[in-house]
Amino acid sequence: MTFESFVTSPSPLVQIFNGPFTVLSTTGTNLPCELWAVNFNATTGQYLSSSFNSDIPVGLFVVQQASYQNWVKAGTCGTISEAIAGQLITTSYNINPVAIPSSGTWTIVIVNSSNARNADGYLAAYLTTVPYSVTQPLTGTITMTTTTTSTASAVLSSRPVPGFPASSIILGIMAGLIAIIMLRRRNQG
């Protein structure tokens, strides 16, 4: 299973995770769910952007590590109310972007409640000091675009990006192209 991810950022990215994941099923256990997690350190004012796809519906949460540890100790599947971002049951979700409210260790948690199937998918997650976006169509390969100057990146897809109207994407691309033209003119003059 392959996925495609595009990342555009006007400031350096800090990669949290970019790769496949597997969350085991609850088959043969008395657990209500299985959890897969990746921890990261962040400071107040940084932004998290993430994109993921899964072959079966799962939950995704971004919580402080202490909350995640409490879930593990209690044997629960967590609550969305403790998350700064998340989605309960989905096969595809983008976090574009969310501000980290306090410095410390944070955790991206993927929750599989299936008692029949492991959840296999792909997660890309990054931090930066300037908001940026990650979009991830359902198939393809990983493509990263990062730069420390103004950039524009077009997602070439026949379907719209979930949660973003086509007009917003077009306006974003146009704004990026204008910024590039202005930057080139300034560098030439």
Distance CA 92, CA 138 (A): 8
pLDDT in tens, 133-163: 554 444 434 443 433 333 333 333 334 444 4
Distance CA 186, CA 113 (A): 54
pLDDT attached to residue 46: 93
Whether residue 127 contacts residue 98, with contact meaning beta carbons closer than 8 Å, is answered with: no
pTM: 0.65
CA angle 52, 14, 42 (to 5 degrees): 90
Q: In the chain, what are the domain boundaries?
A: 6-147, 149-189
Helices (H) and strands (E) in the chain, counts: 2, 8
pLDDT attached to residue 130: 74
- Show Cβ contacts of residue 6 under 8 Å, excluding neighbours closer than 6 positions: 134, 135, 136, 143, 144, 145, 153, 155
Whether residue 49 contacts residue 126, with contact meaning beta carbons closer than 8 Å, is answered with: yes
Q: Within 10 Å of residue 102's Cβ, how many Cβ atoms? A: 11
Distance CA 189, CA 187 (A): 6
pLDDT attached to residue 33: 92
The CATH number of 6-147, from 2.60.120.680, 2.170.120.20, 2.60.40.10, 3.40.50.150, is 2.60.120.680
pLDDT in tens, 38-95: 999 999 989 999 998 999 999 999 999 999 999 999 888 988 899 999 898 999 988 8
Please state, rounded to an integer, the average pLDDT across all residues of the chain. Answer: 77
